[in-house]
Structure 1
């Protein structure tokens, strides 16, 4: 039987690739990884940060040897658009959880008439803050995921951790009535740019708590991860159909994130073997991470540069060894 070329795996470059996916609602991040393995013809696929099934938007995947880059992508700042509903608190801090508390209608009406109070609470949640992650999260507590403990009926309170909310912008509050009953609520469209590790659900929860009415998310979309935008991503529908499009090779991604260190052929060979190489400090200043690129354009590795000397942080396979890494 002749193989359908439309369903054949995409051709993965020798050093692998970074793939941007616009995840649809209802998909888990694991679902996306599984479909990507099939579409790319390799089991070596990972991601640089999950999205809840309710959320949509940008997932950054690495395939083949390029998965080595993911460690350096996980900590990038992220941008989200969200709809925050004030007036109801839920177990999961989003619309999928059971209702925990419903605010007094008079309190919601009073808040709706005072948008400056909402803006002041938003300002208090901007900048460097301490945030307790949502109880229904993948964080482990004594060896078990927090969400497993919550589903088992346990009370879970996670320790606060520092996060940075670079920007928390809101639109005009929109009063309304919750679909699940005659409960007055206030919906707010928000854009949040934040450090890695921030829970937008927890931000909605904390905003509602600060205003005394409770809050949760009804919609969440990730639009940016560092320099990567959802506009450059393919849909999950296209992924299923094998319409991958252009793949970003490691050198392209690394030089978008870090200073570029151009190597001679001899330096590329030495660095590929893990050796330290001498570079001109005048043209290659100290850098915690730099993308070391061979004359042929491939990424040799990520290196630390200090006083004209390099130290390999993450090495990438040579052309000969890379072919075996991407195999299924």
Structure 2
């Protein structure tokens, strides 16, 4: 194995690939077993998956909690077991209610507003959350009834486009089309928010049921899917260690920067506390930060440090990697 892999990899996951599939292929493409992720995506979903390789996996814990942005399509009029298109149908709303709802977009906007901001959300029952030591989705597949506790999340913005009346086929087990209302949405939210649950709760609020038919993650914090490589490149050889973002580049987007001298690089690498010079301010002009990215003169990320009253304390060190 080549131990030179060290960085963050942005991947644009395709539908039907599991996040585990992407990690497994990344290990082969990058030549290292040490690959982790900063939050999975459902197989149905596409979009930004952030992987870490080598020592840079230590950054993943700081990426998991970043805000996320998604584009999605919510289908009103049908509820499913999984709150998305892959689950069995639970209920189908009367076509008259759907047509009436199309003529009352204000009612949809009111329901969307109620799901924006700090809210209490019950995750979808078919999720990876553990209940008594078992994954919720395993319990549901075994036929058990699962109700997960509500948890606080924040929906920073919930933008909707014009609802579209659609004749959907096959939802009732036959060829008779079902009248539904599809809405394309863009959601920016805190980590831990389930977009499937937003679709479910919007449908419940409007009295017609709802689920997701499409989901794409476009942003994680300051990182965008437009800068990501397709996951197929992990299999065809077009994605390699050359695609890794250097740890210093990633950390500099997340934290204030502390520029080190040559001697400070050595001392910090040994875990020593540094007394900063008066003119050695962080990039935000402060001598205090919960976390700062300590960058060597060479541009290497030496560590993440807490800075208090001009003095550092090492939180995480990042060893140099032989290239």
Interval containing the TM-score (normalised by the shorter chain): over 0.9
The aligned counterpart of 2:173 is none
Query: 2:98 aligns to what SS in structure 1?
Result: helix
CA deviation map 1:179-216 (0-9, x unaligned): 22422100000000000000000000000000000000
User: Pairwise mapping of residues 37-56 of structure 1 onto structure 2 (< 5 A)?
Assistant: 37-56=27-46
CA shift in 2, pair 1:121/1:251, >3 Å: same
Q: Does 1:220 align with 2:215?
A: yes
Match for residue 93 of structure 1 among 63, 76, 83: 83
Residues 20 and 59 of structure 1 are in contact (CA less than 8 Å); yes or no, is this contact kept in structure 2?
Answer: yes
Gaps of 5+ in 2: 171-175
Q: Does 1:266 align with 2:263?
A: yes
Shift of 1:241: 1.0
The aligned counterpart of 1:242 is 237
Q: What is the number of residues matched between the two proteins? A: 311
Q: Does 1:277 align with 2:274?
A: yes
Shift of 1:233: 0.5
CA shift in 2, pair 1:229/1:12, >3 Å: farther
Distance (whole Å) between structure 2 residues aligned to residue 12 and residue 104 of structure 1 = 60
Q: Which range moves more in the overlay, 277-286 or 143-152?
A: 277-286
The aligned counterpart of 1:151 is 141
TM-score normalised by L of structure 1: 0.92
The aligned counterpart of 1:4 is none
CA deviation map 1:63-120 (0-9, x unaligned): 0111000010000111000000000000000000000111122211111110111011
Match for residue 187 of structure 2 among 186, 192, 213: 192
Query: 1:73 aligns to what SS in structure 2?
Result: helix
User: Pairwise mapping of residues 121-140 of structure 1 onto structure 2 (< 5 A)?
Assistant: 121-140=111-130
The aligned counterpart of 1:308 is 310
Gaps of 5+ in 1: 1-8
State the 4+ residue runs in structure 1 displaced beyond 4 angstroms: 11-14
Residues 90 and 101 of structure 1 are in contact (CA less than 8 Å); yes or no, is this contact kept in structure 2?
Answer: yes
Query: 1:279 aligns to what SS in structure 2?
Result: coil
The root-mean-square deviation of aligned C-alpha atoms, in Å, is 1.5
Query: 1:128 aligns to what SS in structure 2?
Result: strand
Shift of 1:13: 4.4
CA deviation map 1:33-54 (0-9, x unaligned): 0000000000000000000000
Distance (whole Å) between structure 1 residues aligned to residue 209 and residue 3 of structure 2 = 48
Match for residue 254 of structure 1 among 246, 251, 255: 251
Distance (whole Å) between structure 2 residues aligned to residue 316 and residue 179 of structure 1 = 54
CA deviation map 1:209-230 (0-9, x unaligned): 0000000000000011111111
Query: 2:112 aligns to what SS in structure 1?
Result: helix
The aligned counterpart of 1:5 is none
Shift of 1:140: 0.2
Shift of 1:246: 3.0
TM-score normalised by L of structure 2: 0.93
Match for residue 229 of structure 1 among 208, 224, 227: 224
